[in-house]
Amino acid sequence: MSEAVSALKSAEYQGFARVSECGLRGMITVRGDLASRKLTKAVEDATGQQMPKPRMVNTDGPSGIAWMSPDELLVMVPYADVTGKLAQIDKALAGEFAMAVNVSDARAVFALNGNAREVLAKLSPADMRRSALPAGEMRRTRLAQVPAAFFADADDAFTVVCFRSVAHYVFDLLKAASDPSSDVGYF
Amino acid sequence: MSTRLQTKGRLVNRDRQISFSFNGKRLKAYEGDTLASALLANDQMLVGRSFKYHRPRGVVASGAEEPNALVNLGEGHRFEPNARATTTEVFDGLKAGSQNHFPSLEFDVGAINQHLSRFLPAGFYYKMFIHPRPLWKHVYEPFIRQSAGLGKAPDAETRDPDTYEYFHAHTDVLIIGGGVAGLTAALAAGRAGAQVILCEQTADWGGRAAVDGDEIDGMPVEEWIKNALQELESMKNITLRTRMMGAGVYDHGYVLCYERLTDHIGPSEGPRHRLWKVRAKQVVTATGAIERPLSFAGNDIPGVMLASAVRDYAINYGVSAGDRTVVVTNNDDAYRTAIAMLDAGLSVPAVIDVRATPDTPLIERVKSRGVRVMQGMAIAKVKGGKRVTGVSVCSQAGEGAVLEDIACDVVAMSGGWSPVVHLWSHCGGKLTWDEAGAFFRPDPTRAPLSFDGTPFVIAAGSANGEMDEGAVLADAYTMGQEAAKRVGATPKGAAPTAKDTAQAPLLPVWMMPQGASYKLRSKMWLDYQNDVKVSDVQLAAQEGYESVEHTKRYTTLGMATDQGKLSNINGLAILAQELNAPIPQVGTTTFRPPYTPISMGAIAGEAKGEIFQPLRRTPMHDWHEAHGVYWEPVGHWRRPYCYPQSGESHEDAVNREVVNTRENLGLLDASTLGKLIVKGPDAGKFLDMLYTNMMSTLKPGRCRYGLMCSENGFLMDDGVVARIDDDTFLCHTTSGGADHIHAHMEEWLQTEWWDWQVHVANVTEQYGQIAVVGPKARDVLQSLGGMDVSKEALSFMGWADGTLGGIPVRIFRISFSGELSYEIAVDAGRAQELWELLHANGQQFGVMPYGTEALHILRAEKGFIMIGDETDGTVIPQDLGLHWALSKKKADYLGKRAQQRTHMTDPDRWLLVGLETVDGSVIPDGAYATGEGTNANGQKVVQGRVTSTYYSANLKRGIAMGLVLNGPDRMGEQLTFLKTDGTAVHARIVDPVFYDKEGVKQDV
């Protein structure tokens, strides 16, 4: 064994939605002035993605930028590249009042396919209607008793992010919520 | 007797017979039956006993308002008490039983209470059991608990095998109630384009209109309902849910709805109940109305039922409550029951109407079929015990002189209808008294208000006080449109129409006859479940309980599981009469959610079993589990307490781990420690304010232990700070402090020092952290290779980045044990790999993992304090002799000013010392040292307490730390600590550092 491992080693479950742990994803928390051109350039160069508007996330495969708060971004890159990307961002931000921190291993990431909105609506108080949470919008919220964030792509497949220590709990929650005999028929 | 009729019953499927059991007896029912209709079909009128007098109780209603027909359902792990038979759908194999009787429903010894009722008036319990005080706890309370209560609590050992869940739904409009009003409101809002959820608590749409209504839009009501549903189903913006009750309306359009998914089919796959947490912009309550009973002597005898329920059972389920039905009423509506009974081929010996009123179409229809209508008359009393056998008729105006007896087995009573205003009222909607209908109706000018001060609840149809079908439909459509308008939609379409039947005014009669004697009044039930009678409310009023809320609590009126759905208005009308005040002035009691009881399972949602609570796992969790760990819950984390080897007790395991760590090599999973990155040009300044000691002078590459106090001066956290570079610090917190210190930092940065250039990030879970501890710690690291860990390259309180066995690490040379120690931070994804590597390579050095208890003992041997042991929120650093960590150079830090206040500088504060028992034993944790004499409360004076206490396997004796009055000045003095068994243990005051006082072992 010489590779970094994710919390659940790509566990899967098929209910009325499919739950899959995605393995490790490179994640860098960036804090600073989001209006700064230097910071914008730094994260755009690192990801090839555009700076998102408030609450939004721009992604392409494993690379992306998510707006987390008025002074925080989540930069996503392939896990293998994270050390290099972090150094690149640090260098670009030299002299700027900003922070970039590697949080890749602090997270667990799940993919939800199928009627994901219904699964998430059982666990999160967020408004899961397409009109309220369209593709490309990030929601920082909770799943049952723990913090989590999620966003959808155009096909309504959701990416769910939580803390690594509760990966097991969140997987169990998603499993229970997507139990085949429990679909709600709301979305 | 009650029985199944030849007529079909619109809700039952006569082609599918099913069987169920009641009190062990196998009975037949049809698909679509409620338990109540099925019991009546099997001539089981007697269904339970009342709360106080154990009076026989029969089905009285046909819906959610039922007070009597409460049953036990299921058995074993699925046992559930207090289920209403009227809202329980029968499925094949259902098991039900009656409650609150001994030894049997038919013969109940508790029924003796009804003969003692003279001695058990309102307030009896308060009056009787208040003195002498000690008897309450030991005699009265156990006795009352035994004899009171309806259903039994489930056995403590049973475990509900079913699952439950929540569902969060956001919508424009939520319409509660799927009768014709709810359907009409949904049509109005839906046609306007609003997003609508329409929910109905029963399995069927249309409510009671199909029983009572004639025509809507020129077609039979049932056909109209079918068409309305078809239109609603065709609209994409409408969600229809049956078996879903609006349970409670809360602030800002938050509504709980209770969906029962499998109760009607019995144990099955999938969740049993689903609690909908709905956020609606507008809530329409189309909850209908409930018929009121009349108060006459014997109105609780099985066979006395609501008039509407009698015809519901006949028309909906094809069940007759009895062969001969006497109708007693103060309004026209009850005449429909007479008609329904005649249509079913049953006999109606008389309609007793308290009014002297000219004929209206309904009265005429009844009269024309040869039924005797007795005007201005009342029931003097009902005859019968466990079943009605007849009524004695008297004049309503008199005192109850019996004019004649009429034999019957059903009394169908109607005192008029009350709108179901519960959901309107839950969140502050106010009511207004309607003189004509003698009921409270929602006051639309005083609706519940949302966050922006605009109304968010609209009552529609009968729930809004409209009692005629045409008016109900018009009102419901208007209100549905109003809801749509308020959410920005544009109303269109027209309301359905119905012809109203002309009716004579109702005569508000709250007691019959109006001059009834005490004897009669003490047999007039208001609250069937809690046994509250007219005489009880009158007594309360006489004794000075003028407030309706006080009367309620004194008499327990409306306090049973039905929450007074039938008794509320009648009770307060009696109170008003007694107080000689108008009813609206007396007012109502408070309507509180839930509308009817909801299951505990639904409230708990998914939180059971594995997902009862989040369990936080470190990256090495699986390894610990595979190596026989004994877990200790630390917040939501699980941490190894110790690793018992085969046959070893936990105590032995801890002692072995402690000794091995001092003599050889120990591994500790320290991943739960908080790790906060603090970065920015002002980071040093910021940390100087947060910690009591100086952090800004720390050099990159070095570590410093620091204390954190609240602004009140009390110790709140501690840990090692490492300076990463000029702008960046890594602050370690306690495991419990990780989130809370992060929030503490953010709060100060966001609210007080918002202009300081500092960012904070919580990277606690990014790293696994492994403490490699013991004289052979360096050897094992060197055996892995990758970086220089010699004293020269990485000295005590230094840190360095590098690799170990090819894995990138950051090593801190810090020690919480007093031994040579390296704390290694590694990316969580490779933490278990490194742990396994250390464990494998450590074999040659005698490695053993150790748990939190060994960690505690090792630190206690060194006199290191632990937040939460030596501190409890009242302890300041000075108490613990930590003056060295309080900077005198800094102008300020959080807590500095507070620590200068008189109480904090009081020389009599208890101070930290070590404690060594004279006999070598271990002092019990938390034990107090006694002083001389007693205090003002007559308690022994105390002069100190134990904060940490362990058996030290290294020193082979008990050691402890404690806070003692003038402790450090009393070295060598002996204290007496009391044990809970009454004996005492003696200990000497010593230095808190028991082991390696010079600190040479950690600095090698």
pLDDT digit string, tens, across residues B761-779: 999 999 999 999 999 999 9
Chain A partners within 8 Å of B615 (Cβ): 166, 168-169
Is A165–B168 a contact, with Cβ atoms under 8 angstroms apart? no
Beta bridge partners of B633: B638
Nearest to B829 among A105, A127, A179 (CB): A105
Is A146–B614 a contact, with Cβ atoms under 8 angstroms apart? yes
Residues A77 and A138 in one domain: no
Cis peptide bond upstream of B132, omega within 30: yes
Provide the sign of the torsion angle of the four alpha carbons B827, B832, B835, B836, taken in this order.
Answer: negative
Is A122–B759 a contact, with Cβ atoms under 8 angstroms apart? no
Residues A97 and A119 in one domain: no
Nearest chain B Cα distance for residue A77, angstroms: 16
Rounded to 5 degrees, φ, ψ at B472 are -60, -50
Asked if the structure places residue A81 within a domain, the reply is: yes
Is B606–A4 a contact, with Cβ atoms under 8 angstroms apart? no
Strands (E), B50-194: 56-58, 70-73, 80-84, 95-98, 164-176
Asked if the structure places residue A116 within a domain, the reply is: yes
Question: pTM value?
Answer: 0.94
Residues A37 and A99 in one domain: yes
Over residues B80-98, the mean pLDDT reads 95
Three-point CA angle B65, B71, B74, nearest 5°: 130
**Contacts from B626-635 at CB under 8 Å and sequence distance 24+?**
B627/B849, B629/B851, B630/B851, B632/B851, B632/B852, B632/B853, B634/B672, B634/B735, B634/B736, B634/B852, B635/B735, B635/B736
What local confidence, expressed as pLDDT, does residue B126 receive? 64
Q: Which chain B residue's Cα is nearest to A29? A: B761
DSSP B488: T
Q: What is the pLDDT of residues B916-936, one digit of tens each?
A: 999 999 999 999 999 999 999
Question: What residues have CB less than 8 Å from B857, skipping those under 6 apart?
Answer: B654, B658, B950, B951, B952, B953
Chain A partners within 8 Å of B279 (Cβ): 127
Over residues B339-363, the mean pLDDT reads 95
Chain B partners within 8 Å of A5 (Cβ): 829-830, 832-833
Chain A partners within 8 Å of B686 (Cβ): none
Over residues B864-882, the mean pLDDT reads 96
Chain A partners within 8 Å of B167 (Cβ): 121-122, 184, 186
Is B761–A29 a contact, with Cβ atoms under 8 angstroms apart? yes
- Domain at B3-126: CATH architecture: Roll (3.10)
Per the document, the length of chain A is 187
pLDDT greater at residue B816 or residue B123 = B816
Rounded-to-integer distance, Cα B578 and Cα A32, Å: 72
Q: What is the pLDDT of residues B168-184, one digit of tens each?
A: 999 999 999 999 999 99
Number of domains in chain A: 2
- Which of these three, A105, A133, A154, is where a domain ends? A105
Residues A119 and A171 in one domain: yes
Chain B partners within 8 Å of A165 (Cβ): 616-618, 637, 765
What local confidence, expressed as pLDDT, does residue B129 receive? 64
Q: Where are the domains of chain B?
A: 3-126, 164-289+419-486, 292-416+506-586, 621-865, 907-990
Q: What is the pLDDT of residues B294-303, one digit of tens each?
A: 999 999 999 9
CATH of domain B292-416+506-586: 3.50.50.60
Structural contact between residues B968 and B910, judged by C-beta atoms closer than 8 angstroms: no
- Domain at B164-289+419-486: CATH architecture: 3-Layer(bba) Sandwich (3.50)
The domain of A170 spans 12-23+106-178
DSSP A53: P
- Which of these three, A105, A127, A159, is where a domain ends? A105
Residues A66 and A80 in one domain: yes
Is B165–A182 a contact, with Cβ atoms under 8 angstroms apart? yes
Residue with tokens 């003490």: B522
Rounded-to-integer distance, Cα A160 and Cα A149, Å: 6
Does this chain's domain B3-126 share its CATH topology with B621-865?
no
Q: Which chain B residue's Cα is nearest to A166? A: B616
**Contacts from B261-265 at CB under 8 Å and sequence distance 24+?**
B262/B162, B263/B88, B263/B89, B264/B89, B264/B91, B264/B203, B265/B91
Provide the sign of the torsion angle of the four alpha carbons B888, B891, B893, B896, taken in this order.
Answer: positive
Residues A141 and A165 in one domain: yes
What local confidence, expressed as pLDDT, does residue B530 receive? 86
Beta bridge partners of B277: B168, B256
Candidates 3.30.1360.120, 2.40.50.100, 3.40.50.150, 3.40.309.10; correct CATH number of B621-865? 3.30.1360.120
Cis peptide bond upstream of B513, omega within 30: yes
Residues A36 and A19 in one domain: no
Q: What is the pLDDT of residues B818-843, one digit of tens each?
A: 999 999 999 999 999 999 999 999 99
Does the pLDDT at position B111 exceed 80?
Answer: no
Rounded-to-integer distance, Cα B701 and Cα B335, Å: 93
Q: Which CATH number fits the domain that encloses residue A95?
A: 3.30.70.1520
Asked if the structure places residue A76 within a domain, the reply is: yes
Is B269–A146 a contact, with Cβ atoms under 8 angstroms apart? no
* Best B237, B608, B611, B756 residue to mutate vs chain A (most A CBs within 10 Å): B611
Structure tokens at B75: 């058995």
Structure tokens at B980: 């809970």
* Best B165, B168, B277 residue to mutate vs chain A (most A CBs within 10 Å): B168
- Which of these three, A59, A74, A105, is where a domain ends? A105
Per the document, the length of chain B is 1004
pLDDT greater at residue B126 or residue B250 = B250
Domain B907-990 class in CATH:
mainly beta
Is B611–A172 a contact, with Cβ atoms under 8 angstroms apart? yes
Q: What is the pLDDT of residues B979-999, one digit of tens each?
A: 999 999 999 999 999 999 998
* Best B244, B606, B803 residue to mutate vs chain A (most A CBs within 10 Å): B606
* Closest by Cα among A74, A75, A67, A80 to A24: A80
Does the pLDDT at position B626 exceed 50?
Answer: yes
What local confidence, expressed as pLDDT, does residue B8 receive? 82
Provide the sign of the torsion angle of the four alpha carbons B209, B210, B211, B215, taken in this order.
Answer: positive
Question: What residues have CB less than 8 Å from A108, skipping those under 6 apart?
Answer: A6, A7, A8, A21, A161, A162, A163, A164, A166, A167, A170
Nearest chain B Cα distance for residue A103, angstroms: 5
Is B606–A32 a contact, with Cβ atoms under 8 angstroms apart? no
Is A105–B827 a contact, with Cβ atoms under 8 angstroms apart? yes
Which amino acid is it at B589? T
What local confidence, expressed as pLDDT, does residue A1 receive? 43
Q: Which chain A residue's Cα is nearest to B830? A: A4
What local confidence, expressed as pLDDT, does residue B142 receive? 62
Nearest chain B Cα distance for residue A83, angstroms: 11
What local confidence, expressed as pLDDT, does residue B683 receive? 98
Q: Which CATH number fits the domain that encloses residue A159?
A: 3.30.1360.120
Nearest chain A Cα distance for residue B751, angstroms: 15
Chains A, B: CB contacts under 8 A, how many? 132
Rounded-to-integer distance, Cα B875 and Cα B911, Å: 9
Structural contact between residues B89 and B11, judged by C-beta atoms closer than 8 angstroms: no
Nearest chain A Cα distance for residue B549, angstroms: 36
Asked if the structure places residue A187 within a domain, the reply is: no
Residues A118 and A132 in one domain: yes
Q: What is the pLDDT along chain A (187 residues), one digit of tens a residue?
A: 468 999 998 999 999 999 999 999 999 999 999 999 999 999 999 999 999 999 999 999 999 999 999 999 999 999 999 999 999 999 999 999 999 999 999 999 999 999 999 999 999 999 999 999 999 999 999 999 999 999 998 889 999 999 999 999 999 999 999 999 999 999 9
Residues A64 and A121 in one domain: no
Residues A123 and A142 in one domain: yes
Asked if the structure places residue A185 within a domain, the reply is: no
Asked if the structure places residue A60 within a domain, the reply is: yes
- Kindly report the average pLDDT of chain A as a whole number: 96
Residues A45 and A96 in one domain: yes
Number of other CB atoms surrounding residue B399 within 10 Å: 13
Structure tokens at B189: 């809002």
Residue with tokens 């402090």: B737
Rounded-to-integer distance, Cα B1002 and Cα B796, Å: 7
